[in-house]
Structure 1
Amino acid sequence: MIKFRYICLTFATAAIVSLSACNSTPTAETPSAPVANSTPQATEAVSQNNHSGHGSKAKININSAILSQLDKFEAKLGVPALSNKIQAARPYASPEDLVTKKVITQEQFDQIKDQVTVQEVVLTGEAKDVDYMTKLGLMKGHLFVAQELLDKNQPKQAEPHIGHPVEEIYVDVEDQLNERKVKEFKTTLVSLQDLVKSKPKDAKVKTDFTASVQSVDGAIAVLPVAQRSKPGFVLQVINELLDSANSEYGAAIADGKIAAAIEYQDSRGFVTYANDLYKGISSKVAQADPEAHKAIETSLAELVKAWPSVIPPATPVKTPEDVTKLIKTIEENSQKAIDKTSTQAQR
């Protein structure tokens, strides 16, 4: 599946227009208030100003979404490798091309048509920063599970998780990295992946891995410290990471079994990093809204139980429905906390 995924990505790269690039059209203005559950990289221009919270469903651009986003369709429809199939059939002139190109059936399209778009949007202000940090957060999640697998002497399983940040994400955030004058680190990630693939026991693996993590951390650090510690901002990033984790977990499970270890591991990494981010702002959220904080903290503690180890268990600890319910609770209470902190900041 990984080889197929990478091949698809190679052919699709020319069709991918970074959703955070500054030359995308149409242009949209960023909402003046933080938007907690609008996936910035997938929000249509016509709806960007209408998001009021977690009840709204942002659409996914099938021409440029990364695999973690497309996995939402794979999880919902239960079609194996659907993310790769969507990517391989790019570009699309309209959402209906999914049917005309025989990627999915009309019946399947009817189930997701309200979530599909081919429109682009230029992100500005906070929405752009949320998108940027979310993409880097996904990289962190991938590298987290890669490190766990290397520690367990599982280099073959670790290698694709080092590759995903390069193949899936870097191309999508590259324009923002350049715009923010972040030193190029794709080469560092590729070098690490090659080394793990060819010489997994080489002592240089540890050094290169540290350098890769530091490169991602350095890219995150270009955002102002005040912004990276602001609850309203961080909660938006957390919700985006959990949304991706939810999709990956759903795509990992079939017929009550964990059929795709990679998706299971991806979701574990995203949840782990989201949990780490929340620890950094938990005291501020608790001060602003104790009830919302308690609900978020309790739900996160329960959520992480779905991934008892980086190696998937024989049977899932939690069903996709269980995971979705917990993430929804976190999102709803995050919105309450965002609203509360926003109100307090305006006083």
Structure 2
Amino acid sequence: MVKLRLFAVTMAIACSLGLSACSPSTPSASSPESPAPSAASPETQPVDGLTKDIDYLTKLSLMRGHMLVAQELLELEKPAEAEPHIGHPVEEIYADLEDQLAERGVAPFKATLTEVHDLVQNRPSDPQIQAKFNDAIAAIDGAIAVLPKERSQSLDVALPVINNLLDVAQAEYEAAISNNKISEAIEYQDSRGFVLYAYQFLYPSVRDTVRQSNPEAQRQIEAAFEALQKAWPSAEAPAAPVMTAEEVSAQVAQIQQGTQSLQAAPAAQP
């Protein structure tokens, strides 16, 4: 399922770039007819400062979503299940961030991510795991903090990032289900981590602004998030899905409809 995750991440970032791949007629990431994203496409698009910030925060938020569900699994004393989620940030996302980290003056932290992954993978009972895990979280959060709060907590950045995470979560959840069973626990857990990070960490930073801007949109977004979270009763995958992929998709659509009503048309940034 690594290809699906990479495709879903690419498509989410493409949406933040405003590419045509995000149109409603595009096949879903799990569809066998889905075209492979063109490696040249992003390079042909004008990338302004706002778009780069959305891209940057999306990738770091995906890392945090992975780590969020990994922490839950470690607390459940399931290091073997936590291991792939600790590995995904360094194996699937970090390389795409390296240039931006350097541009923004962020110290490299690949070694920090690798160290905790290696510990969990090879020495799952090592007492250093939690401390090293905390170091990895601090490194990701430090990279996020490079964005000024007035930028990262603006509606024009935070809401597209939330929508990107929901797009990836929706694709992962759909991929987790086969014959009305959760057949891919990793994808189920990934999707849980992305939704929880979007709602518990990103959304609270803009909640007051959302309420002041459009109370009706606030009610719609929060009601849909509350309903959506029921798809993941815990980090441990149930035998059968609590919600169908279509039900998850419907709640994601409600959230995204609410957020889109709040977003100002993005102006080009230097």
Equivalent residue for 2:15?
39
1:180 aligns with one of 104, 120, 140: 104
Q: For 2:217 and 2:83, how far apart are their aligned partners in 1? A: 38
Q: For 1:213 and 1:116, how far apart are their aligned partners in 2? A: 30
1:335 Cα offset (Å): 0.6
SS at match of 1:141: helix
1:211 aligns with one of 128, 135, 150: 135
1:231 Cα offset (Å): 2.1
Q: For 1:308 and 1:282, how far apart are their aligned partners in 2? A: 24
1:184 Cα offset (Å): 0.7
Equivalent residue for 1:25?
none
Partner deviation per Cα, 1:271-318 (whole Å, 9 max, x = no partner): 001002112211210110011110000000000110000001111000
Q: For 1:167 and 1:201, how far apart are their aligned partners in 2? A: 22
- 1:76 is aligned to 2:20: no
Equivalent residue for 1:170?
94
Shift in alpha-carbon separation, 1:319–1:214, aligned structure 2, 3 A = same
Residue type of the alignment partner of 1:189 = L
2:175 aligns with one of 251, 259, 276: 251
Partner deviation per Cα, 1:102-150 (whole Å, 9 max, x = no partner): xxxxxxx3xx35x854433243211110010000000000000111111
Q: For 2:107 and 2:13, how far apart are their aligned partners in 1? A: 30
Larger Rg: 1
Aligned residues: CA RMSD: 2.7
SS at match of 1:307: coil
2:241 aligns with one of 316, 322, 326: 316
- 1:200 is aligned to 2:120: no
Identical residues among aligned pairs (%)? 44
SS at match of 1:337: coil
Give the TM-score of the pair, scaled to structure 2. Answer: 0.87
Is the contact made by 1:292 and 1:334 (CA closer than 8 Å) also made in structure 2?
yes
Q: For 1:38 and 1:118, how far apart are their aligned partners in 2? A: 11
Q: For 2:177 and 2:239, how far apart are their aligned partners in 1? A: 11
1:223 aligns with one of 147, 172, 175: 147
1:264 aligns with one of 188, 206, 229: 188
Equivalent residue for 1:99?
none
Q: For 2:207 and 2:224, how far apart are their aligned partners in 1? A: 13
Is the contact made by 2:104 and 2:146 (CA closer than 8 Å) also made in structure 1?
yes
Q: For 2:206 and 2:182, how far apart are their aligned partners in 1? A: 33
Aligned residues: 258
- 1:242 is aligned to 2:166: yes
Partner deviation per Cα, 1:194-227 (whole Å, 9 max, x = no partner): 1111222222101100000000000001111111
Give the TM-score of the pair, scaled to structure 1. Answer: 0.69
Shift in alpha-carbon separation, 1:222–1:270, aligned structure 2, 3 A = same
Q: For 1:327 and 1:40, how far apart are their aligned partners in 2? A: 17
Question: Which protein, 1 or 2, shows the higher relative CO under an 8 Å CA cutoff with sep ≥ 6?
Answer: 2
Is the contact made by 1:192 and 1:209 (CA closer than 8 Å) also made in structure 2?
yes
Shift in alpha-carbon separation, 1:284–1:223, aligned structure 2, 3 A = same
Residue type of the alignment partner of 2:66 = H
Residue type of the alignment partner of 2:130 = K
2:73 aligns with one of 126, 137, 149: 149
- 1:159 is aligned to 2:83: yes
Is the contact made by 2:13 and 2:58 (CA closer than 8 Å) also made in structure 1?
no
- 1:128 is aligned to 2:52: yes
Partner deviation per Cα, 1:214-262 (whole Å, 9 max, x = no partner): 0000000111111112123211110000000001001111111111000
- 1:338 is aligned to 2:259: no
Q: For 1:251 and 1:218, how far apart are their aligned partners in 2? A: 32
Is the contact made by 1:37 and 1:331 (CA closer than 8 Å) also made in structure 2?
no
Is the contact made by 1:76 and 1:250 (CA closer than 8 Å) also made in structure 2?
no
Shift in alpha-carbon separation, 1:56–1:313, aligned structure 2, 3 A = same
Is the contact made by 2:14 and 2:42 (CA closer than 8 Å) also made in structure 1?
no
SS at match of 2:234: coil
1:279 aligns with one of 204, 220, 243: 204
